[in-house]
Structure 1
Amino acid sequence: MYQTKLSLSCKTPKYRQIIQAIINDIERGILKVDDQLPSINELSEEHLLARDTVERAYRELKEKGHIVSVHGKGYFVAANEQKKLKILLVFNKLSSYKKIIYYAFLKGLGDKATVDLHIHHYDAHLFKEIINKSLGKYNYYVIMPHFFQHADKGEYMPTIKRIPKEELVILDKDLPELEGKYLAVYQEFKKDIFKALESTVDLLAKYRKLVLIFPFGEHYPVEIMQGFRLFCNCYNKDFAILENTFNETPSPGTAYLVVEETDLADLIKKCRGMNLKLGEDVGIISFNETTSKELLDITVVTTDFEVMGYMAATLLLEKKQAKVKNPFQVIRRGSL
């Protein structure tokens, strides 16, 4: 008769120990297709566990496709075709960049998994609702932890901590305060922006002032502002941070770092109307690469969204619990 190996002295909840022990034995070949598991009563008696604890573990194993129940006979290891990974993917929003990550993630997974996509719209309460309804139903939970700028960490960190570390994948923004080993493919916004601006210091030398156009109500990472301020202070640059370009009149000797594409379009239009030449009179750096920015000869700071999605899928399939910083680069063009 199969016996589970549990480390009952550790802090991991007992039902999770049962789940992980059975999954590990299936993966190692100790448990094979159609092998029968101990009954709920047998397992609870063997390890002096509450019956509800074992029942919860078996229920989650069944929901994830690892085991099946046969009425009147008990629980058995499921056939291979029933064990395709189930993944919950929770984005903060669905933009053109997020779509690149999404499709790269699906490509990296191939036919080894099915993916359900949910959007939490920066709302910690909606995020909590999504996770609470989904816990135990998926093999992996892939989340983007971007929330409202005013959100307190106490509104979303407890929810994230409920996800078992071996099932958690963090995308785009890491959470250093989250303890334990988990998979993360992330940007380091503060350092990335600082290093990006530092790499263009030769081009920025001709501008006496730098202006960051940062839409405060659009939920962009505040670390962008921090990296910008750090660079300006380190290199003694006069600077300003504006919410949008609505009341801004471009002036010669100013370089702009623009987050939102509507502000980029407005700034280019104003410069053209004032006969200011980009790259000479006024400098522009935009966030995130697009075909239109390439055609307009706009300098960009950007991460590789395709690499982010594909790498997350690859590491997930390899069962890695590593933290990987996603590539970030500056593409120099005529606008600076």
Structure 2
Amino acid sequence: MKIDMIDYRITIKDEDKVTKVRQIVNRMTHDIDKGILKINTQVASINEFSKSHHVARETVEKAYKILHKNGYLVSVPGKGNFVGKGQTQAIKILMILNKMSPYKKEVYESFIEELGDKAHVHLEIHHYNPKIFRDIIHDNHGKYHYYAIMPHFYSGTDEQEYIEILKDISPNELVILDKRINLDGRFISVFQDFEMDIFEAMDKNAELFSKYSVITVVFPENDHHPLEITSGVKKFCELYRKRFDIISDVNKMELLAGQCFITLTEIDLARLIKKLRATNLSAGHDIGIVSFNETVFKELLEITVVSTDFSAMGRTAAKMIVGKKFKQVRNSFNFIKRASL
């Protein structure tokens, strides 16, 4: 069956740094590799493609010549051009993280381990900056089969700014990690529900919080943690009639019996422990301590931890890519009870 170029079209940008020849080659190679253009399907002639895409015949001829050379197109005398098998190759994936912390490293390493030799993964960091993110997407558009993205940006960033960037990527090439995003189309997503994860973890272990009348989230200024975390803790406090507080600096407040602190960063946890040791109060009896994200340091100090399973996030995303399962999955979340609560 012949695909009319009205039905199969690609976007060719005049302002793109990549030549029009290479844009055609990249997109058709990509679509053949992903099975969008099926093997043995007839494609448009050079003249048809030139007319429907408003590009020079010479440009299309050069692109088709490269596609023929690489086995992606096959000529049948008297009939035309047909999709070939191409070159057997691994899936090409661009992973774009907000930063490379130990936890994000877990996601990355479990992701590439699960994929094995089925894929080649290139890593970029956008450093919470939507402008850097836009440049990364622009410079790599059409070069990969999938774009695995962690869309965490500066506090105060207009959500629509990065949503518009994400819309430049075809939904069936998009893999959203860690954060839930509302987009049209069928795409892969493995996300944390920051509000409900912490609320449900605390609710299931409500007995452990019964000795504390005040629950305080240590939320540093100019930090990029999701505000939904504080919403989840506040929801728990309202349900169990506890006082809810948010502070940015644990050093500026007095520690009193009956308080439970939830820390988001390693440095704030260290400051809290140091301040606690200067008093006669004890963790798990007078003062409660819960920290986000597991480390060996917290295990050794018997600190209670709440954490998403970062390794599971990477493995799940990789399995969904290989299995072409375009759906949204909530990642598993753990509560590890220790002596500090």
- Decide which of 132, 143, 166 is 1:137's aligned counterpart: 143
- The corresponding residue for 1:231 is 236
- The corresponding residue for 2:87 is 80
Q: Secondary structure at the match of 1:111?
A: helix
Matched, 1:15 2:10: yes
Q: Distance in 1 between matches of 2:47 and 2:37?
A: 25
Letter in 1 for 2:311: E
| Aligned residues of 1:279 and 1:334 also touching (Cα < 8 A) | yes
Q: Distance in 2 between matches of 1:265 and 1:335?
A: 13
TM-score, normalised to structure 1, is 0.85
- 1:24 to partner: Cα distance: 6.0
Q: Distance in 2 between matches of 1:293 and 1:175?
A: 31
Identity %: 40
- 1:232 to partner: Cα distance: 1.3
- 1:277 to partner: Cα distance: 1.2
Q: Distance in 2 between matches of 1:66 and 1:148?
A: 45
Q: Distance in 1 between matches of 2:179 and 2:2?
A: 41
What is the CA RMSD across the aligned residues, in angstroms?
A: 3.1
Matched, 1:246 2:246: no
- Decide which of 77, 97, 100 is 1:94's aligned counterpart: 100
Q: Secondary structure at the match of 2:251?
A: coil
- The corresponding residue for 1:207 is 212
Deviations 1:47-98 (A, max 9, x none): x45347995xx69x96xx883899xxx99746433x3211110000100000
Deviations 1:201-239 (A, max 9, x none): 101111111110011312111111111122112221112
Q: Secondary structure at the match of 2:2?
A: coil
- The corresponding residue for 2:332 is 327
Q: Distance in 2 between matches of 1:5 and 1:29?
A: 16
- 1:248 to partner: Cα distance: 2.4
TM-score, normalised to structure 2, is 0.83
CA distance 1:319–1:6, shift in 2 (3 Å): farther
- 1:164 to partner: Cα distance: 0.2
| Aligned residues of 1:125 and 1:155 also touching (Cα < 8 A) | no
- The corresponding residue for 2:172 is 166
Q: Distance in 2 between matches of 1:196 and 1:236?
A: 17
| Aligned residues of 1:165 and 1:182 also touching (Cα < 8 A) | yes
- The corresponding residue for 1:50 is 54
- 1:133 to partner: Cα distance: 0.9
4+ aligned runs moved over 6 Å, structure 1: none
| Aligned residues of 2:39 and 2:82 also touching (Cα < 8 A) | no
Moved more, 21-30 or 121-130: 21-30
Deviations 1:116-155 (A, max 9, x none): 1111111111111110111111110110010111101122
| Aligned residues of 1:249 and 1:270 also touching (Cα < 8 A) | no
- The corresponding residue for 1:287 is 292
CA distance 1:204–1:26, shift in 2 (3 Å): closer
Q: Secondary structure at the match of 1:317?
A: helix
| Aligned residues of 1:149 and 1:222 also touching (Cα < 8 A) | no
Deviations 1:268-311 (A, max 9, x none): 11112213111101000000111111111111101111010011
- The corresponding residue for 1:30 is 40
Q: What runs of 5+ residues in structure 2 fail to find an aligned partner?
A: 12-26, 76-80
Q: Distance in 1 between matches of 2:135 and 2:97?
A: 14
Letter in 1 for 2:2: Q
Q: Distance in 2 between matches of 1:278 and 1:316?
A: 44
- The corresponding residue for 1:179 is 184
| Aligned residues of 2:304 and 2:338 also touching (Cα < 8 A) | yes
CA distance 1:299–1:87, shift in 2 (3 Å): same
CA distance 1:172–1:26, shift in 2 (3 Å): closer
- The total of aligned residue pairs comes to 316
Letter in 2 for 1:171: L
Letter in 2 for 1:122: Y
